[in-house]
Amino acid sequence: MAADPVREFIRAFNEQDLDAFVAVLHPDVEIHAARGLRRGVAAARLWGTRAPGGVQQQIELDELYEDEFLGVALAMITRRWHWAEDGTEAGADRMAWLFELRGGAVRSWRSYEDRDEAMAAAAERGLAIPPAGH
């Protein structure tokens, strides 16, 4: 498994390196996508596959909080949209991704549009997040 599964998940997703993407996933992975739950590596690979052209996304990692003992990680991200045809920016969203990790692999992924809601969900799982500015 990857030494840093969250960063590898983001890198592979951004680069559409689907072999590396699925290599960082736990066999029983659950992807809590906007269109419903995806279970297993094959379903996650399909979810991670982007259609060419049109508007595409790139994920930038702003901050990462993780507790290896608990198997929880919270990635504060910026999702940047750009047009594939000419690379011009189409928008940006500040959001968060919550990961559950098992055995050095991503067992669960969930996206939050509201960072405060994501921090509350991470705290419910025991993840300590330092106050802003510390």
Model confidence over 55-97: pLDDT tens digits? 999 999 999 999 999 999 999 999 999 999 999 999 999 999 9
CB 65 within 8 A of CB 127: yes
Is the residue at 36 inside a domain? Answer: yes
**CATH code at position 87:** 3.10.450.50
Burial class (CB in 10 A: 0-12, 13-18, 19+), 103: exposed
Q: How many domains does the chain have?
A: 1
Banded model confidence at residue 133, pLDDT cuts 50, 70, 90: low
Is the residue at 130 inside a domain? Answer: no
Q: How much of the chain is helix, strand and coil, in % rounded to 5?
A: 25, 45, 30
Is the residue at 22 inside a domain? Answer: yes
What integer pLDDT is reported at residue 131 of this predicted model? 75
Is the residue at 97 inside a domain? Answer: yes
Whole-angstrom Cα distance, residue 90 to residue 67? 34
What integer pLDDT is reported at residue 117 of this predicted model? 97
In the chain, which ranges are E strands? Answer: 25-33, 36-39, 55-67, 72-83, 89-102, 105-112
**Residue-range definition of the domain harbouring residue 75:** 5-124
* Sign (positive or negative) of CA dihedral 118, 109, 12, 20: positive
Is the residue at 70 inside a domain? Answer: yes
Is the residue at 132 inside a domain? Answer: no
Is the residue at 10 inside a domain? Answer: yes
Is the residue at 131 inside a domain? Answer: no
Predicted confidence (pLDDT) at residue 116 exceeds the cutoff of 50: yes
Predicted confidence (pLDDT) at residue 134 exceeds the cutoff of 60: no
Model confidence over 17-54: pLDDT tens digits? 999 999 999 999 999 999 999 999 999 999 999 988 99
